Structure 1
Amino acid sequence: MTQPVRPLDPDRSRRILEAGMRLFARLPYADVHMEAVAAEAGVAKPTLYRYVPTKEALFIAGLAWTLADLREAICATRSSGGDEAERLEKAVALILERIGRLSPALHAIESRSSDLGERSRRVLREGFDGLRDTLAALLRDGAGAGRFDVPDVDLAVLMMLGGIRMAVHGTGRQAPSPAAVAAFFLNGLRAGAARPQPAARRLGAVA
C-alpha cells in the first residue's frame, strides 16, 4: 500500500531557504554544496531534497523568497513611524543591506561560467519589478505630502535602484553606509531643493 505523502512544513521550508541564502551570501555559487545547506538548516540530506530537488532550485526559490521578503519589509515602512522622508530612508537602508547580501548571488547570475539560466534572471527581474512598485508608492506618498519634488517617479525609482545595486555590487569598492546613500537621494528629492537653471538663463545672467 502506498504511503500518503506528508505535506511540506512551511517553517522548515523557510529555514532551508534562509540557510541556503546565508551560504550563497558568503560563498560563490559553485562552492555551495547541498550537504552544507542541510547542515546549516539542521535537516537530513534526504529531507532537504524533498523540499528542493537541486541546488539551482534552492537558489531560485531562495532568491524569489528574499526579494519578496524585502518587498514586504519596504511595504511595511509606509505604515511605520516618522515622516515620509524618514520612511524612504528606512526603505533605502533595507534595500542597501539586503541587496548587499545578494552580491555573490548576482555575480552568479551574471557569470557566463555559471549553470544558472534564464529562469534565475527572470526571478531577479520580477523581484526588482516588485521593489520598483513599492518604492514608487513611497515616493508618491512624499510627493503628495509636499515632502519630495519628483517630476517622474518611475525614473527616480530606476535611478535609486540602479544606484544602490551598483553601490553594493558593481563597483568593487566598499559599500557606503545606508545613511549616506539615503541622504544622497533625499537631499535631491526634498521639495524646495535648488534646481539647476537652463544653460540659456545662466548665460544671460553672466552677460
Structure 2
Amino acid sequence: MAFTKEHHINLLKLAEQQFRLACIVRVHAALETLPLDAPVSQSFGKHTSTWEEFGLRQDQIEYAAPTLEFVSTFVMSSAMRQAFAEHVPNARNHKNSNVAAAYQIARLTRNAFSHHMLVPRCSIDDDCKNRKFEVGEVIRLDTSNLDGQPLRWDHYGGHLAIWRLCQWVRFNVLDDKSPVDRVLPERPAIKVIKQGNLFVRKIGDLSSDDG
C-alpha cells in the first residue's frame, strides 16, 4: 500500500530527527557526558535482561556512537528512495535534473547500505558509472571508480549533505511547507563546535586584564 505525500513528509521528518539524535549522542559520547544508565531490569515476553548484561561502558559507547550516526544516514536515504518510488513517476529520467540527481543519490546510498548495514559498499549500475549527480549546492556524488568500494561520507560531501538532501526532497519534491512558528529546542548547556570529526568544547570565557 502506497503512502500519501503527507505520510512520506512525516516519515522524512522522523528520519531527520533520528539522524539529529544520533549526531547529538555522538557528541556526548565523545565528551563523555552521555548518561550510561541502562534499565536496572527489562523484560518482554519470555526474554529479560539486567543492567549488568545490557549496559554499555564508556569505551563501547565511543565505538558504537559514530556507527549509529553513520547508519542513521541510511534511514534518510531509504525514506527518500521510497518517497520517490511512490510519488515521482520515472524519477530516474525526470526532466528536472536536480530531481533526477536527488533520486539517484538517495537510491545509490541506500543500495550501498542494503548490502551490509555496518559496512556499506557501493554497487553502481552500469548506466550510473562514471557520472556526476548534483543537486544544486546541496550534494554531489561522483560515481567514478566507486563500484565495489566502501561507502564513505566524503563521497558525497559529508553526513550533513544527506540531511540537507532529505530536507530538499521534502520541500522541492513532496511540497512540504516550512513551519510558521517553529518551537526552538533548549539552548545547549555544553557549547560544542564540530568540524568533520573534530569536537571543540568551550570551557569558559577569556577575561581581559586592563590593569
Same fold (TM over 0.5): no
TM-score normalised to structure 2 length: 0.31
The answer to which structure has the higher helix fraction is 1
| Bigger relative contact order, structure 1 or 2 (CA pairs below 8 A, ≥6 apart) | 1
Specify the structure having the higher radius of gyration (Cα): 1
Structure with the higher fraction of residues in strand conformation: 2
